[in-house]
Structure 1
Amino acid sequence: MAKCNPWLIRRLCMIMRQNFAKSCEDKLNDQINMELKACHQYLAMAYHFDRADVSSPGIHGFFLQASIEEREHAEKIMKYMNKRGGSIILSSVPEPVPQFEDTMSALKHALQMEMEVNQHLLDVHALAGKENDPNLCDFIEANFLQEQVDGQKVLADFIRQLERAQTDVGDYLFDKYMISGSMHGNGQQAKKH
């Protein structure tokens, strides 16, 4: 079997590319890498709270679910890039913050991270509008924007509820509520998004 030229194969893949600006492709690659960075950070956070000397199973489960969701976001964008004829470029993932003083500092870190991810999504949307790419605008709106706002609200609520607790017992009860999901009345474990 004859070897195909890799450039030719890539060129054939790009035949379907239409109205997909290089600037949008680059910005989506940045977004993929931000989502993977968040996935990595949430995974580190989850297992910090699973340690025997921390033992917060509710927070562990919350951050573990958040890690899974961030990876799913990256994969969704990668599938979209392939549909549009783009090239996926993954960069190395920075080392996450390894541990946190307490649940409050972890939640605040998570909220800050979510706000940065959300701002980048808004920037992608604005660029897609500038580049006259309604398909990309629709993709961002339909799959990410509302979920980001909802996730930020959940984190802000958790931070406020934990501020009210202000004791080790309060922190313990907060974690118990996280397991049962009773803080939001849904009867399931609380989810980030």
Structure 2
Amino acid sequence: MAFGFRYCGRRHMAMIMRQNFAKCCEKKLNDQINMELKACHQYLAMAYHCDRADVSSPGVHKFFLQASTEEREHAEKIMKYMNKRGGLIRLSAVPEPMPCFEDTLAALKYALEMELEVNQHLLDVHALAGQQNDPNLCDFIEANFLQEQVDGQKVLADYIRQLERAQSELGEYLFDKYITAAGMHPPSVDPKGH
């Protein structure tokens, strides 16, 4: 009983600094956290599938491993934000990922579908924040996620198209070498040449 009382007291302290943060936005952000962790888990499974000796795609392995790390970082960023706003983080069980794919092209297509789903949910969070007159949440979503999502979707779409054009084992081998050099988010070019 004493533990429950202390917990409620601490929860009350978090609530006293809460301002203009609707419960529906808190719930939607919790959904987003869990969606990011699901994507992290899926990318991790995909990465280590590509690392198997019978698949042997080190470039694709590295790409999916980087994507897994980014998804985990997104979840952590949202959790830090929730704590700043006085929200309560609710993590759910992470579903079992798809263990393997027919080939790299199928894995990339699945990754693009996953990214589109994550992006749509972020857009829904942003729209809800606008409806709830929460400019801070709108700004947080815009500043930290929206452009990166669009950039990531473009990279995946490009990779899918390039691999569709290759359509041979030699093509997959060369694609793997290409992706090793490119990474998920190639460095942006400074228009001033710096």
Provide the TM-score with structure 1 as the length reference.
0.93
**CA shift at 1:180, angstroms?**
2.2
Q: What is the RMSD of the two structures over their aligned residues, measured on CA atoms?
A: 1.2
> Secondary structure in 2 aligned to 1:101?
coil
Aligned counterparts of 1:50 and 1:177: Cα–Cα separation in 2: 17
C-alpha distance 110-192 of structure 1, shift in aligned 2 (>3 A):
farther
**CA shift at 1:178, angstroms?**
1.2
Letter in 1 for 2:99: P
Say whether 1:17 aligns with 2:18: yes
What is residue 136 of structure 1 aligned with on the other side?
Answer: 137
> Secondary structure in 2 aligned to 1:123?
helix
Which runs of 4 or more aligned residues in structure 1 lie more than 2 Å from their structure 2 counterparts after TM superposition?
Answer: 2-5
Unaligned runs of 5+ in 2: 187-194
Letter in 2 for 1:119: Q
Percent identical: 78
CA shift digits 1:57-92 (9 cap, x unpaired): 000000000000000000000000000000000000
8 Å CA contact 1:62, 1:192 repeated in 2: no
Letter in 2 for 1:167: S
State how 1:97-108 maps to structure 2 within 5 Å: 97-108=98-109
CA shift digits 1:20-61 (9 cap, x unpaired): 000000000000000000000000000000000000000000
**CA shift at 1:10, angstroms?**
0.4
What is residue 126 of structure 2 aligned with on the other side?
Answer: 125
> Secondary structure in 1 aligned to 2:55?
coil
What is residue 46 of structure 1 aligned with on the other side?
Answer: 47
Provide the TM-score with structure 2 as the length reference.
0.93
CA shift digits 1:122-167 (9 cap, x unpaired): 0000000000000000000000000000000000000000011010
**CA shift at 1:8, angstroms?**
1.3
Letter in 1 for 2:94: V
Unaligned runs of 5+ in 1: 182-189
**CA shift at 1:192, angstroms?**
5.1
> Secondary structure in 1 aligned to 2:122?
helix
